[in-house]
Amino acid sequence: MKGVIFDISHYAIYDGPGIRTIVFLKGCPLHCLWCHNPESQIFNPQVSYFREKCILCGKCVEVCPNEALIISEESVIREYDKCDVCGTCVEVCPNQVMEVVGKFIDTEEIIKQIMVDKPFYDNSGGGVTISGGEPTAQPKFLISILKALKEKGIHTAIETCGFFKESLVEKLVGLIDLFLFDIKHFEPDIHKKFTGVSNERILFNFEKIHKIVGDQGIICRIPIIPGVNDDNHAIDGITSFLKKINYMGEVHLMPYNKMAKTKYEKMGMGDIYKDMGDLTEENLNEIVERINNRGFTTVCNH
């Protein structure tokens, strides 16, 4: 089974228990305004371009077989409708300002790379976390990877936005040891305004999975975004939902940061980058205290 990934990261310690390998699947059905990984949004491979390092030599323009590149006084412009991501431009660039982001890969190759790290999993209680993008957006590929991991006796986790079909739940719960499940807001309209989709399906999936796996098998994660969900109303709404479904597990907070601007520019997406503002330490501490006061254990992932 083949799918598209954009990275495999080794020796991670924040995405599940123990030392872990993270496999990043490409593509996501959401379009969060604050997305930290714009390279993860589109399903197909892309070519990034670091303008600041470009010397405008024109070699990439000369070798492009599809005439997809045009050189101007300030930069190299890519006509994406002509580009087939062949990588020829990347190979000839003397300053390595271009890079192919994403590749097609089969399950066997992923497992081969993962097995190198298995001694670290065994010694630390770690395993493999499938991330994205949104892993469930490539469901057949995801399930193929998970089945192969379970056959090897490897602990599995998934980082998910929760926006997937209900029919996928039963298939996933038997293959995933830990769901790291984002809840961004409790109000459908606000959720849709900032992510492009409503949240009914997300909350439904969280509740259904929790009923099956309990507090030990799923962790609620909240990305804290200024102007979106950093107020008492939003936090109380999420925690009320959790209490309603009898979830009393950990609540992991993921504070917003502004480190993604350069990524957007390199992906040719600078015009859609959105600065969401500042999240102060004081505000974050207040959120932690508010959640703790409602009976939860809060973990803040800086």
Q: Which domains does the chain have, with CATH numbers?
A: 2-43+103-300 (3.20.20.70), 46-100 (3.30.70.20)
The confidence band for 269, taking pLDDT boundaries of 50, 70 and 90, is: confident
Model pLDDT, residue 39: 93
Q: Residue 88's pLDDT is what?
A: 97
Q: What is the pLDDT of residue 230?
A: 96
CB 274: neighbour CB atoms within 10 A?
13
271 has a pLDDT exceeding 90? no
Global pTM? 0.93
Contact criterion met (CB below 8 Å) for 251 and 298: yes
pLDDT at 205 over 80: yes
pLDDT at residue 176 greater than cutoff 90: yes
pLDDT classification of 148: cutoffs 50, 70, 90: very high
Structure confidence at residue 257 (pLDDT) = 85
Calculate the CA dihedral of residues 11, 18, 248, 174 and round it to 10 degrees: 90
